[in-house]
A and B are shown apart, each in its own frame.
Chain A
Amino acid sequence: MSRMLLSPFVKFLFLEGVEQNQKGEVVSEKQNKYKHRFPSSSLYLLPHISSIFLCNFSLHPPPSISSSLSGPADIDSMATIGHNNLNAKLVLLGDMGAGKSSLVLRFVKGQFLEFQESTIGAAFFSQTLAVNDATVKFEIWDTAGQERYHSLAPMYYRGAAAAIIVYDITSTESFARAKKWVQELQKQGNPNMVMALAGNKADLEDKRKVTAEEARVYAEENGLFFTETSAKTAVNVNDTFYEIAKRLPRAQPAQNPAGMVLVDRPAESSQAASCCS
């Protein structure tokens, strides 16, 4: 749990009784040999699932009370995860070697390779997350980073619901490149796109060239959600995807269910509003 709680962008309030909502099941759907299933009790992803419940939704009262408050439909969606299914196209953009593929590999397979094959064109992955009342199926396009591949990018970000713009905290060049991507997406991308700025390789603190503060200010100015990640140590990787899943516009949002709201995220609320709805 502890590493998840280090996330700079999320403050949590822990209350008792949260566990009852942890029905999440995460299914990895990368097509090839690594296809596997994490049972709901998986130590591996559970902390992140719980983090979503904590920061997004209020604590649901017991079903009997809930039915009187929110109606049977709400009960239904709580009971059967998968009732509210959301497909979301997500694209990763960023400079060559910033670690786009590594972030995806970490998220989809829970692995890290010191040397990840360079991506040509783009690679496709999918991963389904259970977020309380819904499942979000990410269709992830991990694009090639070399500058000349830029001309292919629109094909991949067209119609994308979310984007993660990745830079390498040890390279100012890659940060400059990330800013260009942000600009381009703001002008050309889907206007409701949820955008995250991820400073990757956060484990290489001694080689850092881009300060977190600089990036955070930039992200705030541009309405992005900012995080520093390490695909190597897994810090903030899953959180980033969960945060995006959470911010995606919903067809049937359980935004204001009756009950206490246990969210304490003052710094985030304004940005979330601009991204989500």
Chain B
Amino acid sequence: MFGTQSTRDISFEFQSQIPNWRPSIYTRRANITVKFQDLYGFTVEGNVDDVNVLNEVREKVRQQGRVWWALEANKGANWYLQPQISSISEGIALKSSLKLSALTNTITLKRLIRKGIPPVLRPKVWFSLSGAAKKRSTVPESYYNDLTKAVEGKVTAATRQIDHDLPRTFPGHPWLDTSEGHATLRRVLVGYSFRDSDVGYCQGLNYVAALLLLVMKTEEDAFWMLAVLLENVLVNDCYTNNLSGCHVEQRVFKDLLAKKCPRIAAHLEALEFDVSLVATEWFLCLFSKSLPSETALRVWDVLFNEGAKVLFHVALAIFKMKEEELLLAHQVGDVINILQKTTHHLFDPEELLTVAFDKIGSMTTNTISKQRKKQEPAVMAELDQRLRRLNSLNEDDK
């Protein structure tokens, strides 16, 4: 998806071999590889099938846009921005003051969002649904500007790491990989590292923030989206010092896989394949690094409306979609190849989301919260034990 390697780095001998190896290796029906830019400026490398799928997706996006306009004509402008019964807080008793119309709007909206938010409406809808707008309204208007001004020129461990990662975040992207793109991404990441010093900077956030910047109109909105993601949408401590939240999510994911895809789970266990080997990146980058951009953003559409459980739906769906193939794999490398090939080629978001929500079946935020609670002590104990072991290593050293 983000193939950016330039030919100048390839040795001459290597180049001369290209015509020889390419056709013999691609066993796919279409042999020709095409390189082009997708909707968000990422370079996509795919075959003719992929291009066709992307064109269909583009058409579907247009159709979906018409559905949204029609509803707007019917329900009034910005109807979707009205107070929601947020799925994120589902389980909290519905307030009696809620009107029936709000309820039906919520249901309509949920279904609509699973079908995709038109790219042009994304910034507005995300900002409202995720709670970013509300978060921002609790601080003075000038918060972001003041923050970025106050931290300008400061050097911390986090800023050094951010500087290091700027050119390594989607290198080759026509905007992100420019001095303007780097500077903007830097302000957002550095600003956040000062807002929450427990998180500071965690690798992975660079990709998340970069994609947010591409979607949201302004860097300030991207900053607030990042804040609401880390502080409200995702589970706590996903990105803090030992990634404990991420460890918890991985354990929950393993349990869910055993429950929802028992055959795959059993097979992978027999191969001694730990699903976290691949799923960790999915959860930390919220699929921004593994799925084609529009597909990743469709996942985010639902993520901001329904909460972090969506990540489990999508991760399970990726395994589920390839169940038969995975069951035939007998080596760890083959399993990874199947999963990587699948994610990189998921140009049709519909294909993924249908499995994620229809085939996987419902999981409420409540049950997932319970599972997290169940796993937390074990994760904490394990991390603590590890830390003590490492500390004792250091003492041995002295």
By a beta-carbon cutoff of 8 Å, the part of chain A in contact with chain B is 29, 31-33, 35-39, 42-44, 87, 96-97, 110-113, 115-122, 124, 126, 137, 139, 141, 144-146, 148-152, 154-156, 159, 180, 183-184, 187-188
Do residues A96 and B389 form an inter-chain contact, with CB atoms below 8 A? no
Q: Which 10 A-B pairs have the closest CB atoms?
A: A121-B280, A121-B281, A31-B337, A36-B21, A115-B167, A118-B168, A151-B242, A115-B171, A120-B204, A146-B203
- Report 29 cross-chain contacts, Cβ distance below 8 Å, ordered by A residue: A32-B340, A32-B344, A35-B25, A36-B25, A38-B17, A42-B13, A110-B14, A111-B9, A112-B9, A113-B4, A113-B171, A115-B167, A115-B168, A116-B168, A116-B171, A117-B289, A120-B203, A148-B239, A148-B240, A151-B242, A151-B244, A151-B383, A151-B386, A152-B280, A183-B394, A183-B396, A184-B393, A187-B389, A188-B389
* B333 sits at the interface (CB 8 A): yes
Q: Which residues of B contact A122 (CB under 8 A)?
A: 277, 280-281
Taking CB atoms and an 8 Å cut-off, the chain B residues in 8-38 that contact chain A are 9-11, 13-14, 17, 20-22, 24-26, 33
Which chain B residues numbered 222 to 264 have a C-beta less than 8 Å away from chain A?
239-244, 247
Contact B276 A146 (CB under 8 A): no
| Chain B residues numbered 325-378 whose CB sits less than 8 Å from any CB in chain A | 331-333, 336-337, 340-341, 344
Question: Is B277 a contact of A118 with CB atoms below 8 Å?
Answer: no
* Residue positions of B touching A, CB distance < 8 A: 2-5, 9-11, 13-14, 17, 20-22, 24-26, 33, 45, 161, 164-165, 167-171, 202-204, 206-207, 239-244, 247, 272, 274, 276-278, 280-281, 284-285, 289, 331-333, 336-337, 340-341, 344, 383, 386, 389-390, 393-394, 396-397
**Contact with A187, one of B33, B167, B393 (Cβ below 8 angstroms):** B393
Residues in A neighbouring B26, C-beta threshold 8 A: 35
**Known A36-B17, A110-B10, A156-B277; contact A148-B202, beta-carbon cutoff 8 A:** yes
CA distance A119 to B3 in the complex (A): 15
SS of B interface (majority) = helix
- A44 contacts which chain B residues (CB < 8 A)? 11, 13-14
- In the complex, chain B residues whose CB is within 8 Å of the CB of A110: 10-11, 14
* B243 x A120 contact (CB < 8 A): no
A149 contacts which chain B residues (CB < 8 A)? Answer: 203, 243
Residues A117 and B169 in contact in the complex (CB < 8 Å), given A31-B340, A42-B13, A111-B10: yes
CB <8 Å contact, B45 and A33: yes
Inter-chain CA distance A150–B13, complex, in Å, is: 39
A188 to B390: give the CA distance in the assembly, Å: 10
Please indicate the chain A residues that have their CB under 8 angstroms from the CB of B289 in the complex.
117, 120
A37 B24 Cβ-Cβ under 8 A: yes
Contacting pair B11 A113 (CB below 8 A): no
Complex CA distance for A111 and B25, rounded to whole angstroms: 19
Given A37-B21, A37-B25, A118-B165, A126 contacting B33 (CB threshold 8 A): no
Residues of chain B with a CB closer than 8 A to A150's CB: 242
Closest Cβ of chain A: how far from B50's Cβ, in Å? 11
Q: Which partner residue on chain A sits nearest B272 by CB separation?
A: A159
CA distance A1 to B127 in the complex (A): 59
A96 with B164, Cβ < 8 A, contacts A29-B333, A113-B171, A120-B284 known: yes
The CB with the most chain B CB atoms within 10 A, among A110, A122, A152, A180, is that of: A152
Which residues of chain A are near B25, meaning CB under 8 Å?
Answer: 35-37
Q: What is the bound-complex CA distance between A187 and B396, given in angstroms? A: 11
A31 and B25 alpha carbons, distance in the complex (Å): 11
Residue of A nearest to B2 (CB): A117
- Shortest CB-to-CB span from B398 to chain A, Å, is 12
**Given A36-B22, A148-B242, A42 and B389 contact (CB-CB distance below 8 Å):** no
Residue of A nearest to B26 (CB): A35
Expressed in whole angstroms, the Cα–Cα distance for A118 and B281 within the complex equals 11
State whether B14 touches A120 (Cβ < 8 A). Answer: no
Q: Given that A112-B9, A120-B289, A155-B274 are contacting pairs, would A139 and B390 also be in contact in the complex, using a CB cutoff of 8 Å?
A: no
Distance (whole angstroms) from the CB of A188 to the closest CB of chain B:
7
Are B243 and A151 closer than 8 Å at their CB atoms?
A: yes
Could you tell me if B206 and A113 are in contact, using CB atoms closer than 8 angstroms?
no
Interface centre among A126, A141, A145 (most CB of B within 10 A): A126
Question: What residues of B have a CB within 8 angstroms of the CB of A152 in the complex?
Answer: 243, 276, 280
Write the chain A residue with the least CB distance to B205.
Answer: A120
Q: How far is the CA of A119 from the CA of B396 in the complex (A)?
A: 31
Residues in A with CB closer than 8 Å to B171 are 113, 115-117
CA distance A43 to B277 in the complex (A): 35
Nearest chain-B residue to A111 (Cβ)? Answer: B9
User: In whole angstroms, how far apart are the Cα atoms of A157 and B113 in the complex?
Assistant: 41
Is there contact, CB below 8 Å, between B277 and A120?
A: no
Given contacts A32-B340, A42-B17, A113-B9, contact A155 B243 (CB under 8 A): no
Taking the closest CB of chain A, its distance from the CB of B164, in whole angstroms, is 5
Q: Pick from A87, A115, A145 the residue with the most CB of B within 10 Å.
A: A115
Closest Cβ of chain B to A168, distance in Å, is 11
What is the minimal beta-carbon distance from A138 to any residue of chain B, in angstroms? 10
Please give me the residue from chain B that is nearest to A29 by CB atom.
B333
Complex contacts, B340 vs chain A, CB 8 Å: 31-32, 124
> CA–CA, A149 to B341, complex, Å?
25
Given A36-B22, A151-B386; A121-B284 close (CB under 8 Å): yes
Inter-chain contact A31/B17, CB cutoff 8 Å: no
Alpha-carbon distance A245/B396, docked complex (angstroms)? 32
Q: A32-B341, A36-B17, A120-B204 are in contact. Are A183 and B397 (CB under 8 A)?
A: yes
What separation, in Å, do the CA atoms of A118 and B171 have in the docked complex?
10
Minimal Cβ-Cβ distance residue in B for A97: B164
Q: How far is the CA of A114 from the CA of B206 in the complex (A)?
A: 18
Pair A111/B168 contact, Cβ less than 8 Å: no
Interface pair A184/B390, CB less than 8 Å apart: yes
Output the least CB separation between B324 and chain A (Å).
18
Q: Which of chain B's residues have a CB closer than 8 A to the CB of A145?
A: 203
CA distance A41 to B164 in the complex (A): 40
CA distance A37 to B5 in the complex (A): 19
